[in-house]
Amino acid sequence: MAKLKVNALTKSTIGTAAILAVAVLAVSLFANVGTGAYISKVQLCKDSDGGLNTNIAGTCSGTGGTFTDKCSSTDTEVIEYSCLNTRECTVKALECGSGKTCVNGACV
């Protein structure tokens, strides 16, 4: 009879431990979903002048920072920032063209 009580107690303890473990696991999964721990925030590249546009001074914002179009040292070309891909900005020196000069990051 004593052996029967020990077996029942052991089974009861194992059952309680299993239920407790499942409950802890469930709470931890729901807690992470609620805090957004599994959601990745992707910064998209944005160019205010729409890309390679020397007629408008724009600003490109991406993962590497924010960059504003500017004039080169010769004042006949623009240092133009635009989106390389969905996340990063790139830079190119573009000629203003015949009869135009660069003023404040735009050809006029």
Three-point CA angle 6, 8, 12, nearest 5°: 115
For the stretch 63-86, pLDDT in tens is 999 999 999 999 999 999 999 999
**Of 68, 54, 59, which is closest to residue 106 (Cα–Cα)?**
54
Per-residue pLDDT at 37: 54
Q: What is the pLDDT of residue 19?
A: 76
pLDDT at 58: 98
Q: Flag residues of the chain having pLDDT under 50.
A: 32
Q: How far apart are CA 69 and CA 16, in angstroms?
A: 66
Query: Which residue shows structure tokens 């179009």?
Result: 69
Domain ranges, ordered by start, for the chain: 1-39, 46-107
